[in-house]
Amino acid sequence: MLDLTTKKCVPCNSKEMRPMAEESAHHLIPKVEGWNLVKEDGILKLNRSWKVKSFTKGLEFFKFVADVAEAEGHHPDLHLVGWNNIKIEIWTHAVGGLTENDFILAAKINKLDLHHLLRKKVSA
């Protein structure tokens, strides 16, 4: 399969769009490093968390992600809690589950170079 970052999200309002089977999601999750496959209230979602340097750098992180989402026409759920903990959840609301759009968006978020906004990992 082509690298997910070379693909484009498609509009979610087509009647044919269906949530993918859990097996398909498990097949795709290795292609989006760092992202988790979770099921919440029966809905499959992707999520990933980061610790940022500050509250404002968390908002900067979201702005970079928002630009990708707007370019793709597909949008994540953004969480910023405890001032420097961010979590991004991605799922296709129109179908109540996961579609390839979600994996494309996650892959394109992974391509952003946002290390300057992240807290350095504390060595064990």
Ligand X SMILES: C[C@H](O)[C@H](O)[C@H]1CNC2=NC(N)=NC(=O)C2=N1
Q: Which helix (H) or strand (E) holds 67?
A: helix 55-72
Q: Which helix (H) or strand (E) holds 7?
A: none
11 makes contact with ligand X (CB under 6 A): yes
Smallest distance, ligand X to C-beta of residue 18, A: 12
Smallest distance, ligand X to C-beta of residue 29, A: 17
Q: According to CB under 6 A, which residues from 74 to 113 bind ligand X?
A: 74-75, 92-94
Given the rule CB under 6 A, which of 20-28, 42-50, 72-80, 107-115 is the region that contacts ligand X?
A: 72-80
Smallest distance, ligand X to C-beta of residue 80, A: 18
Cα 9 from chain centre = 13
Q: Which helix (H) or strand (E) holds 110?
A: helix 100-110
Q: Are 41 and 91 in contact (CB under 8 A)?
A: no
